[in-house]
Amino acid sequence: MRRARLRAPVAGLSVIAVVVVVLSACGSSGGDGTTASGASTGAGTTASSSEKAVKMALVLPCGSSDPWCNQGYNAAQKLKSEGAVDLRVTTSAPQDTAGASQVIRQYAQSGEDLVIAYSTWPDATNPVGEKFPDVNFATFGIKPTKNVALFDEPIYQGAYLAGMLAGGITKSNVISGAAGQDVPLCHAEMQAFEAGAKRTNPKVKQLTTYLGDWNDVAKSQQAINGQISQGSDVVLACGGAQANGMIQAIKQHNVSGFGYVSDQSSSAPKNIVGTVIYDPYPYLKKMAEDTTAGTFQPAKTYSFGLKEGGVKLQLNPQYSAAEIPPKVKTEMEKVQQEIMDGSFEVPYVPTGNGS
Amino acid sequence: MDWSAIFGGSGLTVLFSSAILLAMPTALAALGETVAERAGVLNLGLEGMMLSGAMGAFLGAYYTDSPVVGALCGVTVGVLVGALMAFLSVTLKTEQVINGIAIVLFAQGITAFLFEKLFGGSEQPTIPDIPDLKIPLLGDIPGVGKVLFDQNALLYASGVIAVGVWLLLMRTRFGLSIRAVGESPQAADAAAVNVSRIRWRALLICGGMAGLGGTVLVIGNLNLFQPNVTAGRGWVAIALVIFGRWNPLLVFGGTFLFGFTDALQVQVRAVSGGTSTDVPYELFQALPYLITLAVLVIATVFARRSAQPSALGIPFRKEASR
Amino acid sequence: MTSATSVIAAPAGRLGLNRRRLATVGAPTGAVVLALLLGAGLIVAAGGDPLSAYSALLDGAFGNPLAFGEVLAQATPLVIIGLGLALAFRGGVWNIGAEGQLFVGALTGGAVAVELPVSSGPVLIAAALVGGIIGGAVWGLIVGVLRARWGVNEVITSLLLTYIGILLFQWAVRQPLRDPAATNGLSGQAMPHAALLPDLPGVSVHIGVLFALVLVPVVAWLMGRTPFGFRLRMLGLNADAAQTAGVPAGRMAIRLMVISGGLAGLAGIVQTLGVSDRLDPNLSVGTGFTAIVVALIGRCNAIGVLLAGLLVATLQAGGQAMSVTESLPYSIVLAIEGVFVVFLLIADRLARR
């Protein structure tokens, strides 16, 4: 019986094979035409833009309404509307290294000048970089290679300012942070938040939870509920799911919080004090300029902090001003100025101190 | 760390409320899966059904501003995906395991795509929260009252539906046919039970319950949708059906054991603030899985016989049609 | 009972053609055409042009050596794991936990490659591969022993151990084996250069693909020509009868879990040394689950697994390329993959009537 069944899949598969062969025959004849037509559509959209527009591709690990991807998407669109780039975007790209690599490679192969792999994808990007030495790449990750540049993420600088406000806002002297993983990005953000809060309110105590997961909104929300039950009344998140979980938790318990990466004020207008914004626009702009000028390679780590407009604390105008003591707000603005003019540096604490 | 913060009066209330919120979506889906598997269909598409239900619920509530419409949409979408599974597995009789995995793939793709199509480039959309409904008197019982009788209406409805499904499966004629069809389809067929029809209905119920699970996760709990919002809860639910030995009460108990452990580890880490322990947090995360595994092994060692429906995963063909 | 066969074959009957022959060739072809049409519908919904999208899919999979190398590379872990699962499933052991076994194998093999004070490439690679196989095999062994000794259901234990295995991996790359230079994501240590799998000349694909190719005849031989394979088939056909006939079901379950776990571990370390080049938490997003589909579409037959693995990898790699050239969201490609897999099954089912 087994034997009889075993021949069958071959029948099924061979039908597919025939279809595949037939189609690939069409494909090979029309393949070039397709690419050409794809290219011409691209040219059509840029007819209005300048001739030297950089052909840029943006590969996003999530949908473009996710707090993280939304920022990358909007920054690239802004650059496109200014005529600086021809833009192609892939949303919700495969998360695994092999799949992401294939998408990145496909862009490199199809003649893009600059491919932005907008996630922690060094393992997917570097091998493609080796195969396409004339194409420029950028990703988040470990260290730059000849033609793969890195984004820096000095989010902690904005978190310090948020912490200063939190120290003034808290009535219980307990604040909290919820982060996806204990990686330097989040660790430094959490430490800076605490340091900022202690500056305006030495009595403050911070509860920090590393969830160990970037995706589970429900668990993040429960963790933040737990923190709130311990008295926390100002919350900061690190990670998209953590930020979304925070929104619901602070709304339900009517406490305050800071948005993460993209402006979240409208999701909880009464509870969001402000957002620690990460804006990739100056990064993308500079990378595009360097690509045009031929100064992209050897690639480096691009870094735009508070001073350079890559990070900022954006306050929510709808948040009740009465909650923020004016003295604290003035002090925060003073420190912000000091960071801008370089007279103060936010301490960067990427690891250690409890895990 | 301060254990009284977790096991003291108010801490305990938070813990149990959190356990209910974490367990309910999984529990509903697991009950649905129990019905499907008792009818003999191994439905690995549960995660896809939950996810589709979650999306249906979100879109329904988002566009009508009515949580009731949202909930109905969530369940309906779940039923539709259940129908797809039934069409493939019962009518066409293709390999159930692959059907299920393909449905998960399809649902993950289509929900993420739809979400992108509708909301791409804009800020994270949300739906309004639904208020908690405190049941008079019962809700005032210290501790238990707050946990069990001061939740939102959807959670009460889910509890009632869960009991209904249990009664349906264990105490009605229809439930008897479901179990018969899963145990011995040939005998059921000989007794003039329409095997295909019963399995179809079981899968529709399963889809609806999974859709409800997704709904409960989104409406009144997260109040938002994001791609893969169910984060693997459907797979856990499948494991918990086996854990509960295909008995709806044990399955329900198992999901709450899992949910409680999960809530506990989250609470412990939230309350301790991550600073007072050097134990890796991955160990805490693994706790629900480890405890489920331990209980499973112990229970199996003491249980005498297998409880698995005999015809699980095997498509039924009438002798005559061969 | 209405089924797709009668629906599709009915018009043919009316035309007076040989209904039976048409049913075996026409019906599956019809299913494939239907799949292509449904996929086309999704592509149109996403704002693409189906014809150019499908040719982009094929071009992205077979258009040039780089593209085909990508198909082979993505097929490699699917085939390696799929072969192990094919053995296990044939013997009636439902190992659902290949994903976890893959990660544990990547961890143990990767740790060997990082820690072993050896500079010779071949030695290092061999040691890492063995380390990976052992890691996966141990993760499978737990499941096998629990089932053999106490009859604990392997579906649930292998699934639960998957979560635990992935958490173990995440802990390792966050703590003891973290790359100190990594800043914003979990990244484990890079593999020493000597341990990386070299590329095959001509196509840009690492030599790991050869492991898959070598394993196919080995598994085919094991299944078809050995007493082990005979017992395996007996168990799969009728476990009770096989046990009565003296097949040691428990020992077989342990062996099958060790073999399928070991192969999943091998796939994990091959991906680590050949694709990610480090201990990488993005090593796999569900490869171990897709391999279940591969094993079953391949009817748990070695050659079938190879073909199914190539087919699924073609869909994956071609689909990824298609999403780029046609500017489609990648999520729609996932949905299309789901549709294709379902209709492939339907076509297969109809071909067997």
Pairing of strands A311-315, A272-278: antiparallel
Which residue in A has a C-alpha nearest to residue C48's C-alpha? A38
For position A46, what pLDDT does the model report?
40
Task: Give the residue with greater pLDDT, B60 vs C183.
Answer: B60
* Residues sharing a CB contact under 8 Å with residue C311, sequence separation 6 or more, in sequence order: A13, A16, C297, C344
Contact B18 A226 (CB under 8 A): yes
Among B33, B53, B71, CA closest to B220: B71
Half-sphere exposure of B310 (CA within 13 A, CB side): 11
CA B74 to the chain's CA centroid: 13
DSSP B89: I
Which residue in B has a C-alpha nearest to residue C294's C-alpha? B98
DSSP C326: T
Contact C167 B301 (CB under 8 A): no
Q: Which two tokens stand for residue C338?
A: 């789901």
Lowest-pLDDT choice from B14-23, C23-32, C48-57, C209-218? C23-32
Q: Does B266 touch chain A (CB under 8 A)?
A: yes
pLDDT tens for A53-76 read 899 999 999 988 888 999 999 999
In sequence order, the β-bridge partners of residue A177 are: A208, A236
Which residue in B has a C-alpha nearest to residue A247's C-alpha? B222
pLDDT tens for B68-118 read 999 999 999 999 999 999 999 999 998 898 899 999 989 999 999 999 999
Place of tokens 């890492």: C128
DSSP letters spanning B155-169: HHHHHHHHHHHHHHH
Facing residue for B229 by CB, picked from A206, A207, A217: A217
- CA distance to B37, B215, C87, C258, C344, per residue, from C265 (Å): 31, 37, 15, 10, 28
For position B277, what pLDDT does the model report?
55
SS3 content of chain A, % helix, strand, coil (to 5): 50, 15, 35
10 Å Cβ neighbour count for C37? 12
pLDDT tens for C229-258 read 999 888 888 888 888 888 888 999 999 999
For position A247, what pLDDT does the model report?
92
Q: How far apart are CA C56 and CA A31, in angstroms?
A: 7
CA of C149 to nearest chain A CA: how many angstroms apart?
Answer: 29
Facing residue for C183 by CB, picked from A5, A35, A184: A184
The dihedral built from the CA positions of residue A188, A193, A199 and A201, taken in this order, carries a sign that is: negative
Q: Does A68 touch chain B (CB under 8 A)?
A: no
Q: How far apart are CA C262 and CA C138, in angstroms?
A: 8
Q: Does A181 touch chain C (CB under 8 A)?
A: yes
Ranges of residues in chain B with a pLDDT under 70 are 1-2, 9, 143, 273-278, 304-306, 319-322
Q: Does C187 touch chain B (CB under 8 A)?
A: no
For position C216, what pLDDT does the model report?
97
The dihedral built from the CA positions of residue A225, A228, A234 and A237, taken in this order, carries a sign that is: negative
Q: Where does residue A278 rank: exposed (0-12), middle (13-18), buried (19+ CB within 10 A)?
A: buried
pTM of the model: 0.89
The dihedral built from the CA positions of residue B119, B121, B122 and B125, taken in this order, carries a sign that is: positive
In this structure, what are the phi and psi dihedrals at residue A276, rounded to the nearest 5 degrees?
-85, 100
pLDDT tens for C41-71 read 999 988 889 999 999 999 999 988 888 999 9
pLDDT tens for A209-232 read 999 988 899 999 999 999 999 999
Indicate the Cα dihedral angle B256, B258, B261, B264, nearest 10°: -60
Q: How far apart are CA A131 and CA A108, in angstroms?
A: 9
Contact C187 A35 (CB under 8 A): no
State the average pLDDT over residues C293-316. Answer: 93
10 Å Cβ neighbour count for A199? 17
Residues 192-231 of A with CB under 8 A from B: 205-213, 215-219, 221-227, 229-230
In this structure, what are the phi and psi dihedrals at residue A233, rounded to the nearest 5 degrees?
-125, 10
Contact C25 A10 (CB under 8 A): no
Query: Is the separation of the CB atoms in B152 and B220 below 8 Å?
Result: yes
Average pLDDT, chain C: 88
Please state whether the peptide bond connecting residue A298 to the residue before it is cis, i.e. omega within 30 degrees of 0. yes
Side chain identity at residue B290, one-letter code: L
For position A97, what pLDDT does the model report?
94
Percentage above 90 pLDDT, chain C: 61
For position C18, what pLDDT does the model report?
55
Q: Which two tokens stand for residue B129?
A: 């929260």
Length of chain B counted residue by residue? 322
Q: How far apart are CA B207 and CA B46, in angstroms?
A: 8
Ranges of residues in chain A with a pLDDT under 70 are 1-51, 353-355
Contact A15 C28 (CB under 8 A): yes
Contact C1 B102 (CB under 8 A): no
For position B302, what pLDDT does the model report?
82
For position B274, what pLDDT does the model report?
59
Query: Is the separation of the CB atoms in A319 and A270 below 8 Å?
Result: yes
Mutate to test the interface with A, among C8, C282, C331, C341 (most CBs of A within 10 A): C282
CA of C77 to nearest chain B CA: how many angstroms apart?
Answer: 18
Q: Does B271 touch chain A (CB under 8 A)?
A: yes
Which residue in A has a C-alpha nearest to residue C295's C-alpha? A9
Query: Is the separation of the CB atoms in C254 and C108 below 8 Å?
Result: no
CA C208 to the chain's CA centroid: 14
In sequence order, the β-bridge partners of residue A235 are: A176, A257
State the average pLDDT over residues C158-168. Answer: 96
Q: Which two tokens stand for residue A105?
A: 């490679």
CA of C214 to nearest chain B CA: how many angstroms apart?
Answer: 26
Side chain identity at residue C260, one-letter code: S
Contact A153 C74 (CB under 8 A): no
Q: Does C179 touch chain A (CB under 8 A)?
A: yes
Q: How far apart are CA A220 and CA A218, in angstroms?
A: 5
Facing residue for A13 by CB, picked from C182, C283, C307: C307
**3-state SS class at C190:** strand
Q: How far apart are CA A19 and CA A9, in angstroms?
A: 15
Q: How far apart are CA C289 and CA C162, in angstroms?
A: 11
Q: Does B5 touch chain A (CB under 8 A)?
A: yes
Q: Which two tokens stand for residue C84?
A: 């192990």
10 Å Cβ neighbour count for C1? 10
Among C305, C344, C337, C299, CA closest to C78: C305
Pairing of strands A234-238, A272-278: unpaired
Q: How far apart are CA B114 and CA A210, in angstroms?
A: 31
CA of A236 to nearest chain B CA: how many angstroms apart?
Answer: 13
